Structure 1
Amino acid sequence: MATVAPARARSALTLALLLGGLSAVGPLSLDMYLPGLPELGRDLGASASATQLSLTACLAGLALGQLVAGPISDRVGRRAPVLAGAALFAAASLACVFAPTIGVLVALRFLQGFGGAAGIVIGRAVVRDLYSGDAAAKLFSSLMLVGGVAPILAPVLGAQVLAFTTWQGVFAVLTVVGVALLLAAALLLPESLTPGPRADADLRGLLRDRRFAALALCSGLMMAAMFAYIAGSPFVLQTIHGLSEQAYSLVFAANGLGILAASFASRRLVGRVRPAQLLAAGVAMGAAGAVLLLGAVLADAPVGVVLCALFLVVASIGLVSPNATALALADHPRTAGAASALLGTSQFLLGAAAAPLVGLAGERDALPMALTIVTCVALAAICTIVARRA
């Protein structure tokens, strides 16, 4: 249900495309350079764990940037922080092209994530400004459909870029993406926060809300499981199982299609099935994949079994993310920016914590990745139960 005058809003399709593009900054920043991660480490003389810190730094920037941009947008409006963040993202991406050492790259990746976070967190707040209830859940699912294209295209595009140039070329492409998003936001993003008294961020109050906190942790833990997959899969699938960069990118794309399919199913089912039930179904799907993955690693099963397990884990995000977000933001219309910030921060901080764990045993051991994913999904299931009882 719209809560602002029609003259103030763009069409639902335009809004979904724009906000989906802004939300895609995270997957693009994280996934596009994955096929070149082993080459990047060799080029900069870094270990697998040190190389994965470039992923962790971007995750940390995406997390902390949301915690800053979300509350600011509750006070000054949505447009200005989005434009500033897109500009920083583009500048940091360009600087990454010229990074001489892994330490410099890690620092620049943090700034890249920090800038890109504004579009992600404020995109969710814009949806809450304009819609509520089932309509909000449907639009969040639409954003997942649009944003879900990024995980599919990012590693494929990255692999094609790497076929003609080095990993620096990937960051040059991200610079172009950042500039394009900046121009699109400047031209198309409406100011969705209605005039009137602006709310102060009450992050502690939100965290004291047991239902909100449980939903935020559930969403964050499921995303942490996916980030463990993102960090570990290049080494598990390419180094252990021998997939080429191009084959790995196609596997990654197939898992992204799983997110799209689950998001589409969620959008169609909202209104007939309660968001809480769709959330529970998504967590159950992820749990099934996590258990299958652990069993496959322990039994040294063929790569096909590993791929099926990872597909279930990743696809479950398409059910979990939109419904957890809609449920968590439903009771906080005046502090949607701060609430969205905590949701995003939980996702990326937990992801940043999970990512380096998968490389602790080196490039040729998949068990740390499997154990990390199982632990995250199990804790997410507990949070789902707590949220339902709150």
Structure 2
Amino acid sequence: MTRTSRSTGLGPLLLVTLALLASVAPFSTDLYLSAFPVMAEELNTSAATIQLTLTSFLIGLAIGQLVFGPISDRVGRRGPLLIGSTVFVLASIAVMLAPSVELLIAARLLQGVSGAAGMVLGRAVVADREKGDAAARAFSLMMIVGGIAPVIAPLAGSLVLDQLGWRGVLGVLVALSIVMLLGSWFVVKETLPREQRSPAGTGRFRLLLSAQYLTPAATFVFGFSVMMAYISASPFLYQDVIGLEPTVYGLFFGLNALGLAGCSFIGSRMLRRFTSRTVLGWGVIGLVGSTTAVLALALSALPAAWMMVPIFVSVASLGFVMGPATALALSAVPGASGTGSAVLGASQFGFAAIVSPLVGLGGSEATLPLAVVMFTMALLAAVAHVSGRFTAVVQKPSNPVEFTKQ
């Protein structure tokens, strides 16, 4: 199998900084998950309303990526990144100080819009610097660093919650937002030269409608929705249904994240020998198999605690999915990686915003809605992936250089 892509090189400091920027979502969601029950009580509202603070953040991420991505294709990466990172700091302060659940939801929306800059532009910077399977390895390595966030965030959130309350937990996010701003300013340089910037309405954007882009993008979006269903339901599943204390919940949540980070590392090593599509396929198989087990357990009379095992496998399997799927999608839109990254990210979190409330339809102690949503999303990811493999066989790629190995 001929290797056609080579790495242009991403320094370790830049890679870690991009991974931190890409970790906006796990830090902004996982850090305060253990505080959901306390927040609902102190703000005198329901669990479903508190979950709307998560939904509004995800909607903001979707909107923000559609704003920052296309703009960065026209004006470059650095300027939009600095603006977004600055607003993210201010929005995080507003979230921490919000006096009511209504203002909290609104501040979380702004936080999502501004935080989207780091996520969408981090992917675009990698696409500017790396191509083909080298890009897939870079995305997988970013997920290793980003995977540390879900390990640290719930545990740290639980510990801070005990000492400083839920506003103290959100104060930690303010500190992280400042670190992200400093990284954007001092580490991330411009990676899109003026001569490569795309004017509005360029014909390159038609590639966003190609099967080479849509099938891996759909695999990524549906796969991520499996994880967001789990994340949204996990505080109530692990604490209310299974009966874990907040700190113990944080430990198990972190264990699942370690599985994701570990499989991301293994996947990055496998990409030196296997193609992105092959590694992606193994991840999809793990995703479908594990969510089938989750659904079977939810329909059985067995204790809900048994679901923790296939849930771990589901989250870990995404380590083989996210990096390769991102690389395959962005390599299909040469010259418009900012817009391609934006559509990918907006679909990712927009769809997650729809999926997240569905897991709570049966109440805080129901497990079947979570199982059904996870299984359905995994099945859709498998359909998208199989469609992509079929398309790759029967259709000549629009960019032979990028797709020779795929």
TM-score, normalisation: structure 2: 0.92
Q: State the identity %.
A: 41
RMSD (Å), alpha carbons: 1.4
Q: Which residue of 2 aligns with 1:345?
A: 346
Letter of the aligned partner of 2:99 in structure 1? P
Query: Superposed, which structure 2 residues align to 1:191-340 within 5 Å?
Result: 191-200=190-199, 205-340=206-341
Which segment drifts farther, 159-168 or 206-215? Answer: 206-215
Paired with 1:330 and 1:184, the residues of 2 have a C-alpha distance of 26
Q: Which amino acid aligns with 1:369?
A: L
Could you tell me which amino acid in structure 1 is paired with residue 173 of structure 2? L
Alignment correspondent of 2:174: 175
Measured against aligned partners, the alpha-carbon deviations of 1:277-315 in whole angstroms (never above 9, x if no partner) come to: 111111111111111111111113234421111101111
Note if contact 2:298-2:304 (Cα within 8 Å) is conserved in structure 1. Answer: no
Q: Summarize deviations over 1:137-166 as a string: whole Å, max 9, x none.
A: 111111011111111111011011101011
Cα distance between partner residues in 2 of 1:271 and 1:12: 19
Q: 2:341 is matched by which residue type in structure 1?
A: S
Structure 1's 292 and 104: CA in aligned 2 closer, same or farther, altered over 3 A? same
Aligned-partner Cα distance in 2 for 1:75–1:315? 37
SS of match in other structure, 1:381: helix
| 1:201 Cα offset (Å) | 5.5
2:283 and 2:199 map into 1 onto residues whose CA distance is 34
Query: Structure 1, residues 328-375: CA drift from partner, whole Å, max 9, x if none?
Result: 111322100000111111110111010001111111111111111111
Q: Secondary structure at the match of 2:321?
A: helix
Unmatched 5+ stretches in structure 2:
1-5, 392-406
- Give the whole-Å Cα distance in 2 for the aligned partners of 1:320 and 1:2: 20
- Aligned residue pairs, count: 384
- The aligned residue for residue 139 of structure 1 is 138
The verdict on how the C-alpha distance between 1:204 and 1:75 changes in structure 2, with shifts beyond 3 A counting, is closer
Counterpart Cα distance in 2 of 1:296 and 1:88: 44
In the alignment, is residue 37 of structure 1 matched against residue 36 of structure 2?
Answer: yes
Shift of 1:12: 2.0
Write the letter of the residue equivalent to 1:309.
Answer: P
Whole-Å Cα distance in 2 between the matches of residues 346 and 91 of structure 1? 26
* 3-state DSSP of counterpart to 2:195: coil
Q: Give the stretch that moved more between structures: 42-51 or 255-264.
A: 42-51
Give the drift of 1:386.
Answer: 1.1
Structure 1 match to 2:123:
124
Q: Give the 3-state SS of the residue equivalent to 1:364 in structure 2.
A: coil
> Aligned runs of 1:53-72 on 2, under 5 Å?
53-72=52-71
Q: Distance in 1 between matches of 2:319 and 2:37?
A: 28
Distance 2:301 2:260 in 1: 27
Which letter maps to 2:210? D
Q: Deviations over 1:267-286 (max 9, x none)?
A: 10113111101111111111
Greater CA drift, 203-212 or 149-158: 203-212
TM-score normalised by length of structure 1: 0.95
Alignment of 1:349-360 (within 5 A): 349-360=350-361
Counterpart CA distance in 1 for 2:373 and 2:196 is: 44
Give the corresponding residue for 2:394: none
2:174 alignment partner AA = T
Counterpart residue identity of residue 259, structure 1: L
In the alignment, the residues of structure 1 paired with residue 351 and residue 196 of structure 2 have an alpha-carbon distance, to the nearest angstrom, of 33
1:211, CA displacement in angstroms? 2.4
TM-aligned CA deviation for residue 180 of structure 1:
1.2
Q: Could you tell me whether the CA contact under 8 Å between 2:261 and 2:319 is conserved in 1?
A: yes
Residues 28 and 151 of structure 1 are in contact (CA less than 8 Å); yes or no, is this contact kept in structure 2?
yes
Residue number in structure 1 paired with 2:114: 115
Q: Note if contact 2:212-2:332 (Cα within 8 Å) is conserved in structure 1.
A: no
1:12-34, Cα deviation, whole Å (9 max, x unpaired): 21121110110111110011000
Tell me how far apart the structure 1 counterparts of residues 301 and 310 of structure 2 sit (CA, whole Å): 13
Partner secondary structure for residue 342 of structure 2: helix
Query: Deviation of residue 318 (structure 1)?
Result: 0.9
1:375 is aligned with what amino acid?
T
Runs of at least 5 residues in structure 1 that lack an aligned partner in the other structure: 4-8
* Residue 93 (structure 2) pairs with residue 94 (structure 1): yes
